[in-house]
Chains A and B, each alone.
Chain A
């Protein structure tokens, strides 16, 4: 993030793709999307990933998000989630993912100079860095 995204070399887009096999993933996506809407995505995303096993087991997504936000921010997030105004955006992300198609977790799709490079799996920083540097070196 510091070396490529914050320096403006790489544009990072997070896409939601809640899977039906994970009972609470749609709710988690709704809270994360709402948090992004008020500029608090990073804190909520971190809390959701760090406590994934917990809320997957007990379904308390709201509790996890509440712990990561101030009371005022949580109120705004809850209003957005209850209003369901951001749900079409999650559906749109999922439709975009199905076009790739996304069939593994995690999936990263690199776009550069009109080319698309879909990649599935985790990656180490050194190897990712090498690939990004090669993409950026293209004329």
Chain B
């Protein structure tokens, strides 16, 4: 009975992950496009400034830096929206998990290398510290759990589905 309850632990994790990660992704994408400045700078300025921040991680070649900088803010908003809506949840949850794991390993690597850079997560001059690593690690762990539980829940009949023997 507990396993089919609509309010079990797995579903609580899935809902928490969906709401939290969707909110963070949409805000992060929006912040990168507006830079939190008033008046809002032109989008070309915002994207090229974000490219500087991506470049500061010293991971990607120039062409890849430009590609990531020009697409990531829009991808974050799109993925956040799709995760929130919940349609084809397992696909978007998997993609968000992959993105979160990439973010986590990027900040972990930069922290381990002692790079004195800004995180670039929300387009604010936020220094990359152990706090950033722990925050991204926690969000990546939440994303992994959300995705695993989404796959597990999808295998079970829904709690409100009529029994087969009726």
Contacts and interface: CB of A to CB of B under 8 A. Distances in A.
A105 B44 contact: no
Contact of A117 (B44, B49, B55, B65): B49
Interface of B is mostly: helix
Contacts of A121: 55-56, 115-118
B48 A134 contact: yes
Contacts of A103: 127
Interface stretch (A22-30, A44-52, A80-88, A123-131): A123-131
B55 A124 contact: yes
Interface residues of A, number: 22
A52 to B, nearest CB: 16
A119 B52 contact: yes
Interface of B: 35, 37, 41-42, 44-45, 47-49, 51-53, 55-56, 58, 62, 65-66, 115-118, 125, 127
Which 6 pairs between the two chains have the least Cβ-Cβ distance? A121-B56, A104-B116, A121-B117, A131-B48, A134-B48, A134-B44
